[in-house]
Structure 1
Amino acid sequence: MPQLNPSPWFLIMLTSWMTFSLIIQPKLSSFTPTNSPCNKASTTTKTAPWPWPWT
């Protein structure tokens, strides 16, 4: 079964991961988000139990 031979695929996988790690990831990490997150106070809602008619 040729798909079990790791010889050609391991080099391709290693090359693609190295490309991602060394070239693409630093370029993506340099972008700054345009909308910074704001610190809103979380609002809690008071929940009441459901009034089931058979209880």
Structure 2
Amino acid sequence: MPQLNPNPWFFIMLLSWLTFSLMIQPKLLSFPHTNLPTNKSPMIDKITPWIWPWT
């Protein structure tokens, strides 16, 4: 069964990962980010107790 022979498929996988790592990934990482992270103060919610109508 040729599907179980790893020789051609391993080379194809290795070649595709090298292509992604060396060529495509640096191009994608060079794009500017549209939403830069900002320092925000944490929001403190005021918790009010629930008033039950039957108590």
CA RMSD of superposed structures (Å): 2.2
**TM-score scaled by structure 2?**
0.70
User: Which whole-Å deviations, capped at 9, do the CAs of 1:2-55 have from their partners, x for residues lacking one?
Assistant: 322101100110110010011001101111112212211111224467788xxx
- What count of residue pairs does the alignment treat as equivalent? 53
Taking only the aligned residue pairs, the percentage that are identical comes to 65
Q: Which runs of 5+ in 1 are unaligned?
A: none
The answer for the alignment partner of 1:31 in structure 2 is 31
Task: Return the alpha-carbon distance in structure 1 between the equivalents of residues 29 and 14 of structure 2.
Answer: 21
Task: Return the alpha-carbon distance in structure 2 between the equivalents of residues 50 and 4 of structure 1.
Answer: 64
Q: Which amino acid aligns with 2:30?
A: S
1:1-12 pair list within 5 angstroms: 1-12=1-12
Q: Which runs of 4+ in 1 moved over 4 A?
A: 46-52
Q: Which runs of 5+ in 2 are unaligned?
A: none
**1:26 alignment partner, SS class:** helix
**TM-score scaled by structure 1?**
0.70
